[in-house]
Amino acid sequence: MRKHSGEHPRTGALDVCPFVPVRNVSMDDCVHCADIFGQKLAELLHVPVFLYGEAARKESRRNLPSVRSGEYEALPDKLKLSDWSPDFGPALFVPSWGATVTGARKFLVAFNVNLIATKEQAHRIALDLREQGRGKDQPGLLQKVQAMGWYLDEANIAQVSTNILDYELTPLHTVHQEVCRVAEELKLPVVGSQIVGLIPLKAVMDSADFYIQRDGLFIVEEEHKVRLVISKLGLDSLGPFNPKERIIEYMVMSAELRPLVSSSLQQFVRSVGARSAAPGGGSVSAVVAALGAALGAMVGQMTYGKRQFEKEDHVMRRLIPQFHEATTKLLEMVDQDALAFNSYMVALKMPKKTSEEIKRRTAAMQEGLQAAVAVPLALAEKISVLWSPLKEMVVYGNIACKSDAQVAAKALETAVFGAYFNVSINLKDIADEDFTTATRKRAAVLLQEAKESAAGVLLAADQRDQSSLHNL
């Protein structure tokens, strides 16, 4: 560390170790991890450790640049100050190590925008944009953004290097647009960008939705949305951007988390027919519903972009995404139903020897039953919003796909029947009468709506004027 130098700020050999909630953990969980890690590191290596972000114990330490102020070189004097007593470990300078900062934060997106410019010009743009700006009296334009300018020798270009601390508050495309705007004022060309490390899928999808809305594009597939963002931001300008290796959800995706949906059709059918209570009618209903929604999307896709149906393109652009999104959500419910039922089965097997054990078991069983009811009821609710667009699809869609729309209607109706039956069988064992009454009433309403709506779709299909449209 005594001889270390470079462009990036640092306080020590292990500069910062953040804990970030990605899936199935809370921010509080990450704060707890940071506390344990910081304490263990200090005890093992006898080095100073500071907490930052959501784990910070002092408001002045929430911001990483504040904790890093002065960097490694300032530590000998900084550690002597009472305000900078470390959260863990000795307030002593360890030349071979420096100090470590750990904490909990949202997912940070390290996003660099490439410029044909000097380091100084890139840094000028960074100062204008970063939240810290040029100081207290000259704040920057973008909230929750850290930035600096540097020169990337290996690529022979300058970069505005940013850390987006909250990509939902300041999205990727906003940072890119602002860099482009200021660069244009300075007559400097922007030549692509770069993601350092991993990026959450939502950050990519938010930018895709922005470009789709701004440019009036029609894109529904997730893969195509990712490609759009790669193209718009020039994320592959310095090297290939492989979504499977750079988007964190794709990196951690596991078939174990969605065993039913990830299985083959043959495996799923076999598992339904096995000597096991799950997957059962609930999961099958979700599959049937997803197939019904998918058929609705298919009718739209077989209509959109065809010359003979060109006048209906605007209708298809509105309808297709509804069925596409519903298909994705309904597929997720295939495993959700099985998991909800399994939680009830786990509660059944809880010990019941003492009064306290019986109480805990009863509460867990009731909770499991309400979860088992909630999934099929939510399935019926999701189908409810598809009846109107499906009827419209029948009226305006490709007449050659009339039978597909009819099957879609019956599939969705069947799924609601399945949901109704699954709600009803679980309600009888739920003790909360108010919950039972309200749920049974809502399920009955959704079933009646499904019967009437499916009949209406089939009637509309029968009434189509086939002579006004050409077959495929």
**Residue 161 to residue 110: CA distance in whole angstroms:** 8
**Residue 104 to residue 381: CA distance in whole angstroms:** 37
Tell me 247's DSSP state.
B
CB 16 within 8 A of CB 100: yes
Tell me 98's DSSP state.
B
SS3 of residue 199 by DSSP:
strand
**Residue 192 to residue 283: CA distance in whole angstroms:** 45
CB 174 within 8 A of CB 149: no
**Residue 174 to residue 159: CA distance in whole angstroms:** 16
Phi/psi of residue 160, nearest 5 degrees: -90, 105
Angle at 181 between CA 180 and CA 187, to 5 degrees: 80
CB 111 within 8 A of CB 62: no
Locate all alpha helices (DSSP H) within 54-193, ordered by sequence: 64-68, 71-78, 119-129, 172-185
Q: What residues are annotated to the active site?
A: 8, 337
Lookup result for tokens 């640092």 = 10
Angle at 233 between CA 228 and CA 235, to 5 degrees: 95
For 151-169, b where at least 16 C-beta lie within 10 A, e where not — what string?
Answer: bbeeeebbbbbbbbbebee
Taking the CA atoms of the chain, what radius of gyration do you get in angstroms? 28
User: What is the DSSP secondary-structure string of 289-347?
Assistant: HHHHHHHHHHHHHTTTT-GGGGGGHHHHHHHHHHHHHHHHHHHHHHHHHHHHHHHHHHH
Angle at 98 between CA 97 and CA 100, to 5 degrees: 95
- Bridge partners, residue 111, by sequence: 162, 195
CB 217 within 8 A of CB 228: yes
SS3 of residue 149 by DSSP:
strand
